[in-house]
Amino acid sequence: MNFELTDVQREIQRTIREVAAKELTPHARKWDETHAWPTDAVKMLSELSLLGVAIPEQYGGAGLDNVCYAIAVEEISRGCASTGVIVSVNNSLYCDPVMKFGTEAQKEQFLTPFARGEKLGCFGLTEPEAGSDAGAQKTVAVRRGDEYVINGSKNWITNGPKADAIVLFAMTNKEAGHKGITAFLVPTNTPGFIRAEPDKKMGISAAWSCSMFFEDMRVPAKYRLGEEGEGFKVAMSTLDGGRLGIAAQAVGIARAAYEEAVQYSGDRKSFGKPIREHQAIQFMIADMATELDAARLLVWRAALMKDKGVRHSSESAMAKLYASEMASRVTNKALQVHGGMGYSKEMDAERHVRDARITEIYEGTSEIQRIVISTHLLKE
């Protein structure tokens, strides 16, 4: 097995690392404190073709592989976790399903300008009573001639307040359970599409999310993504890739915390010497570095499997599970290395702890990942 990156992958890593250090890291704390959408950063990243990393060039993307995508999200998230998830959602949860399940006409309208970064997309699966249980959808779409009338709501929709379109899931046949779910592509300026104010959250404060409401919203049948009843398949396939993005985000957050802790351990002195010379600190740094490398390799394995076109549900779940829980462990250790200063907003350590926590929840909780993995392992 070759663990070496290609020349292209290394160049992507180097370039985005430099961009993130210059354009993201210096502003991340301010964006977090003010809950400011990183408009200029998103525009800059779109100009680098990072809103559609693995989308073919003919559809406006960069035409790179999913390992490049994982590298990109890690480097962006190391600079700013909020910007990282904005990019991840547009790539994994929006562009990817349109690329995989959309018609050519749909790709022209709903993919190309989004992969170019001219527009922004989001993904609408979660509802107030349908989080981990995605099959419990209550949003309903009723066919009326050449269109569907949709009523219902979604919540916690990342990019929602800024999105130009949504991959939306609704029940077209309640009696069929999860086999009655259908996916739609819906412009957010459609009459009957209502967005609430941005959510107030513990972390990733610059990545806006919101609740959405649909009141007799009429959507042309030509905007249906896939066939009726295929929505659950669309959603689960999409989440396999989405978990790659969140796992990479978690690695980026943890790396930021780790690198800052290593730096601080050389600057801070106690008992007459830098704290990095105390074995207790050395052990924490060793543990953090080991967990970071393990998580990154899990992410790259799943990304490589996606590039090969083989099923990667279990591998993506493993990467997401381990990387997200690793991020919480590493950011907490990094805060501990900072001591009392780690608890102060003068440092970034506390922000990394807050940002890391959501990675264990969205795009499938850790408990759901364990279900996915164990189901795969225990198949007869």
363, 236 Cβ separation under 8 angstroms: no
67, 9 Cβ separation under 8 angstroms: yes
Give the active site residues: 363
β-pairing, 165-171 vs 121-124, is parallel
Cβ-defined contacts of 272-281 (< 8 Å, 24+): 275/337, 281/337
The CB-side HSE value for 126 (13 A sphere, CA atoms) comes to 20
What are the CA-CA distances from residue 230 to residues 172, 179, 376 (Å)?
A: 10, 7, 21
Query: By three-state DSSP, how is residue 260 classified?
Result: helix
How many other β-carbons are positioned within 10 Å of the β-carbon of residue 142?
A: 13
Break the chain down into helix, strand, coil percent, rounded to 5.
60, 15, 25
CA-based torsion, 251, 254, 256, 258: positive or negative: negative
How many other β-carbons are positioned within 10 Å of the β-carbon of residue 374?
A: 12
DSSP string for 95-117 = IHHHHHH--HHHHHHHTHHHHTT
Crossing angle for the helix pair 231-267 and 81-88, to the nearest 10 degrees = 160
